[in-house]
Amino acid sequence: MRIEVEVWRQDGPRERGRFETHVVEDATPEMSLLELLDRLNDTLAEAGQEPIQFESDCREGACGACGVTVNDVPHGPVPRTPSCRQHLRSFGGITRLRIEPLRSAAYPVVRDLVVDRSALDRLIQAGGHVDVATGTAPDADAVLVTHDDAELALDFAACIGCGACVAACPNGAAHLFAGAKLAHLALLPHGRLERGRRAVAIVDQLDAEFGPCSTYGECVEVCPAGIPLTAVAAVHRERLRSVFRGRAD
């Protein structure tokens, strides 16, 4: 299987980037996108050329490190699937792939396909945490959480922080990511006393680093964790709640 790969190359954050075209002659339908890049890098290394820099870790769709843009779609053509789980058999006979970094003003390119997504980390640093009493471990039933609340909180907590939602949004918004964190923590009794402060801190950081929500919902289509669009509503709900209830509640 012959695959023509048009891949983004950039030597550093301040360097001018460009596309390079390479051919992988022995690709197979079972290959994932990352395995295709591995094979291409083997070929480049054998020819004494610089391998393509890209990120990956677990390659099981759990870590969120592998995100790239494929034919203008964050992660690739299969909805709600990370780049590492996108296989060539899913491309419907397409044999030319254009692979580039996740594109957003909030994600400066480090090198080639690697981007700096620390803007998402700063959202978590702003308010994605809880204060808990130290001491011995509490009994399992000391803090009661209903089954429905626990399951819904876990749905929002499934976000893997890949950042594809930001790259998919025409405004570069991170409301799906921020809303998943806010909704997850709002559903649980842990850290309830700082709920208002959390909303203010995260939304202020969101406004400082990312664009406004486009309301189109492209973010949901590319989210590999299946975070629902209601997460976006949680951003506005939690911020408005802090206005009426105060930052300390």
Q: At 124, is the pLDDT very low, low, confident or very high (cuts 50, 70, 90)?
A: very high
Distances (CA, A) of 85 to 31, 33, 42: 9, 8, 20
Q: At 132, is the pLDDT very low, low, confident or very high (cuts 50, 70, 90)?
A: confident
- What average pLDDT does the structure give for the chain? 93
Look up the CATH superfamily of 3-111: Beta-grasp domain (3.10.20.30)
Question: pLDDT at position 247, please?
Answer: 58
Q: Which single residue is written with the structure tokens 């769709």?
A: 61
- Percentage of the residues of the chain whose pLDDT score is greater than 90: 83
Question: pLDDT at position 249, please?
Answer: 60
Global pTM exceeds 0.75: yes
CB pairs under 8 A, 24+ apart, for 66-70?
Answer: 66/34, 66/162, 67/102, 67/162, 67/163, 67/164, 67/167, 68/33, 68/99, 68/100, 68/101, 68/102, 68/113, 69/99, 69/100, 69/101, 69/102, 69/103, 69/167, 70/33, 70/97, 70/98, 70/99
Question: pLDDT at position 184, please?
Answer: 94
User: Is residue 214's pLDDT more than 90?
Assistant: no
- Residue 4 contacts residue 97 (beta carbons within 8 Å): yes
Question: pLDDT at position 228, please?
Answer: 94
User: Is residue 174's pLDDT more than 70?
Assistant: yes
As given in the structure block, the two tokens for residue 160 are 């893997």
Question: pLDDT at position 203, please?
Answer: 96
> Can you name the CATH fold of 118-245?
Fumarate Reductase Iron-sulfur Protein; Chain B, domain 2 (1.10.1060)
65-97 residue pLDDT tens: 999 999 999 999 999 999 999 999 998 888 999
Every domain of the chain and the residues it spans: 3-111, 118-245
User: Is residue 229's pLDDT more than 90?
Assistant: yes
Euclidean distance between CA atoms 226 and 152, whole angstroms: 12
Question: pLDDT at position 248, please?
Answer: 55
178-195 residue pLDDT tens: 999 999 999 998 878 889
As given in the structure block, the two tokens for residue 135 are 């001491």
Mean of pLDDT values over 210-231: 94
